[in-house]
C-alpha cells in the first residue's frame, strides 16, 4: 500500500512508542500529585518511653501502690479536638520512696473486649519521689479513644516501677 498524500511513512517499530511513553509519564505524574496533595500522612507513633523495671522486687512493691479516685472527663484542646482525660491519685502505702510509675490503661468496648490499651507514666521520671504514706494526683490525656469504647472508667494496672533508692 502506498502512503497517501500528506502522510509520511514511519519506520516500522517506532510508531507506538511515543504515545506509550507519554501515557506512562502522565500516569506517574498523576500518581505523584495524588500522593503529595491528597494522601494523608500516617500518624506518627507515640515516642517510645524507656521501659521501667518490673522484676520480682518491683512487682511485689507494686501491690503497695493504691490507684484511687479514678475519674473520666472530656475537654477541648487548642485545636478544638475533644480529648478524653483520666485523672486519679496514686498512694504509696509501702515503706520505700517511689521515683517513677508506669501503668497500662485499658479501655473496653460493650463486649468487654479491648478498645484501646496504652502504657503511660503516672509519676514521671523527673518528678519528686512519692514518699511512703503520701499521695500524688495524676492526669492522662487521650487524643483518640475509639468510638467503640463503652464510656466506662478504664482499668489501670502498674506495669513498671522505679524505687527512689534504685539507681537504674
Domains of the chain: 56-163 (2.60.40)
Rounded Cα gap, residues 92 and 158, in angstroms: 12
**Which tens digit of pLDDT belongs to each residue from 79-138?**
778 899 999 999 999 999 999 999 999 999 999 999 999 999 999 888 899 999 999 999
Look at residue 43 in the predicted model and tell me its pLDDT.
45
Rounded Cα gap, residues 92 and 131, in angstroms: 7
Rounded Cα gap, residues 33 and 42, in angstroms: 17
Burial class of 150 by CB neighbour count within 10 A (0 to 12, 13 to 18, 19+) = middle
Rounded Cα gap, residues 101 and 62, in angstroms: 9
Q: What cell was used for 70?
A: 479514678
**Which tens digit of pLDDT belongs to each residue from 26-60?**
766 766 666 555 554 444 445 455 689 999 999 99
Q: Mention every residue, 6+ apart, whose C-beta is less than 8 A from residue 4.
A: none
Query: Confidence band (pLDDT; 50, 70, 90) for 8?
Result: low
> Hey, which bits of the chain come out as E strands?
65-76, 82-92, 98-108, 114-123, 135-142, 155-163
Amino acid at each position: 500500500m502506498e502512503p497517501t498524500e500528506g502522510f509520511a511513512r514511519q519506520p516500522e517499530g517506532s510508531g507506538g512508542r511515543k504515545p506509550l511513553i507519554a501515557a506512562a509519564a502522565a500516569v506517574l505524574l498523576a500518581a505523584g500529585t495524588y500522593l503529595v496533595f491528597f494522601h494523608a500522612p500516617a500518624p506518627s507513633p507515640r515516642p517510645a518511653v524507656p521501659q521501667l523495671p518490673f522484676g520480682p522486687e518491683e512487682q511485689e512493691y507494686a501491690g503497695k501502690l493504691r490507684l484511687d479516685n479514678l475519674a473520666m472527663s472530656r475537654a477541648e484542646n487548642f485545636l478544638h479536638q475533644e480529648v478524653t482525660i483520666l485523672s486519679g491519685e496514686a498512694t504509696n502505702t509501702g515503706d520505700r520512696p517511689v521515683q517513677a510509675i508506669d501503668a497500662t490503661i485499658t479501655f473496653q468496648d460493650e463486649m468487654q473486649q479491648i478498645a484501646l490499651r496504652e502504657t503511660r507514666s503516672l509519676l514521671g521520671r523527673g518528678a519528686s519521689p512519692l514518699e511512703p504514706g503520701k499521695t500524688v494526683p495524676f492526669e492522662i490525656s487521650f487524643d483518640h479513644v475509639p468510638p467503640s469504647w463503652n464510656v466506662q472508667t478504664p482499668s489501670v494496672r502498674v506495669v513498671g516501677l522505679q524505687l527512689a533508692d534504685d539507681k537504674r
